[in-house]
Structure formats: structure tokens, C-alpha cells
Amino acid sequence: MASAVPAHVPTERVVDFDLFNPPGVETDYFAAWRTLQGGPGLVWTTANGGHWIATSGELVRSLWADGERLSSECLAVTPGLGEVMRFIPLQQDAPEHGPFRMAVMKGLASRFVVALEPKVRDVARELIEGLRDKGSCEFVADFAEILPLNIFLTLIDVPLADRPALRKLGVQLTRPDGSMTVEQLRDAADDYLRPFIEARMAQPADDLFSRILSEPVMGRAWTFDEAQRMCRNLLFGGLDTVAAMIGMVTLHLARHPEDQRLLREQPELIPAAADELMRRYPTVAVSRNAVVDLEVDGVTVRKGDLVYLPSVLHNLDPACFEAPEVVDFARNLTPVRHTTMGVGAHRCVGAGLARMEVIVFLEEWLGAMPEVTLDPAQPVTMKGGNVGACTALPLVW
């Protein structure tokens, strides 16, 4: 949906760029986004109702962390999505945001992540055992969409058999195909979650939702509406991002057998390799709406304008990282400066869990599988969206 260019947007800043279908995304998500590099640091696209896109890494990172002039309320450029979803804590601003985020952070504390690691290993080993003798697989469907989703569903203690149906909902949020309205998507998630939320609020157990809902916010108990918005947020947050990341990491390994060999020979490099691969292959972006007029990169962003912040344009900006397209396991990422998991007050609450899953995946996959390569007879396919992803990753060994 194209829109007219507002009067305050200079003509030279206007581009034709649809984040859900950028040019060439089917074969290379990252190259598609990098077509915006080298020009102004902030551009305006007429696609999807019209919005700004930060294209320089410095701007992406600084605006992502700007909680005073930019609000998280809008959620995404998909019309109506933010108003309908009302996620807690993702769409909240300070000071309301802090107490709710703290409760979620306590529920995802490092001790719970550490305790979950054996389960991640068990699931990874089971999946690998089922694939190893086959000689080939479609990695997205056979592994990437199973491991992190099964772990998340275990965390919230819902039936693993529900994974395929829930996965479809997650994709509709980040890469919508028009088959559901945003209201239908919200209602489908809420209808699924309602009995679990009611049970956790009445009699807390040891699952993630129970831990969070047992934490008072501002000295009081959660209301059902707040609990529903929080559980809705975590459900969608757990259904797509890590699956997309594991797919991209595996694509790199399949294209670079020398890196497979290196990590097998020196498994102590795996934690640093996970950090670097997560930096090199970011697929998450966020939207912010301006709450005041502000001057950015020589132009005026008006109050109410939407600004889109893609992590790929920070992590792959040569002004922010030397030779950013090169995967270098010795790259100094301490303290972590990439934006794959966000930055500032809204940095992903599940970042520690996601990192652990990627590390365990690399350890188990490289420890048990032979060298894998891309299947020359079948194409790798990708799709854009608020979380980009491989949609098909055929491997052979």
C-alpha cells in the first residue's frame, strides 16, 4: 500500500522499498536490505502507509535506544497491529514499562536459563539422531522450526503437539500473508492462551507464565488484561526469532565448511562463534513512533511519524564494524555492541535464552553431524518482514 509523500519529507529522501518484499529478498535477505546503504542516513518509503527507515548503523542504534523522543507503542508498520496487540512489556514506555519488564526479567533469570540447558541438548540430540542417517533434510522444517519452539512451549508448559498451529500464528505476526486480520490473529492467540492464563493465575506452578504472574507489579497483583497482554507478547516472541536465527547460522555453516571444521577442531570457540554469527545474520527490526518533532540526519521527523529500525543496517554497516560481512570468530564483541537482540530499555528479554540455544545447537550439531553442504538441486529461499528468515534450507551430507 503506497501513500502520498508528506510535505515535510524532502523528495531526495524518498525511496521505493517494501520491508515485507525488498528487492531480491527471495535469494538474499541481507543484500536486499543493503541496497539502502551508501545514501542518506534516513529515508522515507511510500510503502505500507509511508514511514522513515534509518539506514546508517549509528542512527539505527541511537534511535533504538531513544526512549524519550520515540515511543514503542506502534509495534510495527502493519496497519492496526500495535493498537490491537498492546503487548506488555514490548509496547510500553517509561515509567509504566519498568515494573512489568522487571517481572518478565525475573521469570527469565539466568538460573532458569541454565536449568533449561539439558532439555535443549536432549531435544537437539533427538532431532539430530532422527536426521543423521537420512543424508539430507530441509533444515527449516526438520530442525529450525522444532528445536526453539519445543523449548519455548516447554517453558510455558503447553502441549508440544500444538507447535505447528502456534508456529503459523507466529509467522502471521512477523511475515503476514494477508490470510488473517490483525484482530483474528490476536483473538486466535488469546483463545489459545486463556485457559492457561486462568489456571496459572488461580494456582501458579513452575512454568514461565506462573513465575512472571507471581511477581507483583507496582506492589499489586496482575490484572487479567495485563496477564493476557504479557502472555500474548511472550507467545509471539518465542515463536519465530530463534528459529529464524538458527536457520541463518546453519546457512552460513553450509556455505562455509571451513568454519564447520574449525569449530569441530576447536569447540572452545563456539560461544564466540555464536555471538559473531548472531551479529552477522540479524533479521529483527523494530518500529518507533515519534512523540515530538525531532531533527535527525538533517531532516525533521514529525510527531506521529513512524521510524523503522532494522538491525541488519547497524550490524552490517562498515562504519560500525570493520569488514562487517566477514564472519570473524576472533572479532571483539565485548561488550556486545550489535543490535541483533536490540539495545536500550527494550533489549530482548529472552536474549540470554536465545544465545544459550544457539550455542547448544552448534555444540550438538557439529559434535554429531557430518559436514553438511547446500543441496545443489534445490534453492535456498528467504522472506522479508519484521523478522526475516530462510523459508527453505535444503542440506545434504
pLDDT tens over the chain, length 397 residues: 578 999 999 999 999 999 999 999 999 999 999 999 999 999 999 999 999 999 999 999 999 999 999 999 998 888 888 999 999 999 999 999 999 999 999 999 999 999 999 999 999 999 999 999 999 999 999 999 999 999 999 999 999 999 999 989 988 988 888 899 999 999 999 999 999 999 999 999 999 999 999 999 999 999 999 999 999 999 888 888 999 999 999 999 999 999 999 999 999 999 999 999 999 999 999 999 999 999 999 999 999 999 999 999 999 999 999 999 999 999 988 776 899 999 989 999 999 999 999 999 999 999 999 999 999 999 999 999 999 999 999 999 9
CATH number of the domain located at residue range(s) 11-396 in this protein: 1.10.630.10
pLDDT of amino acid 396: 98
Q: Where are the domains of the chain?
A: 11-396
pLDDT of amino acid 295: 97
pLDDT of amino acid 2: 73
pLDDT of amino acid 1: 59
Q: Cα–Cα distance between 150 and 131 in angstroms, integer?
A: 17
Q: What is the CA radius of gyration of the chain?
A: 21
Residue whose C-alpha is closest to residue 286's, from 98, 67, 14:
67
Q: Cα–Cα distance between 239 and 166 in angstroms, integer?
A: 7
Q: Are strands 299-301 and 294-296 parallel, antiparallel or unpaired?
A: antiparallel
Q: Is the dihedral of CA 311, 313, 319, 321 positive or negative?
A: positive
H-only helix segments in the chain: 29-34, 57-64, 81-85, 97-107, 110-131, 139, 147-156, 163-174, 182-202, 208-213, 224-237, 241-255, 257-265, 270-280, 312-315, 351-368
pLDDT of amino acid 80: 86
pLDDT of amino acid 366: 98
Q: What does the DSSP 8-state code read for residue 37?
A: T
How many other C-beta atoms lie within 10 A of the C-beta of residue 322? 10
Helix H or strand E segment including 300: strand 299-301
Strand partners, 296: 299
pLDDT of amino acid 173: 86
Q: Taking a C-beta distance cutoff of 8 angstroms, is the pair 147, 123 a contact?
A: yes
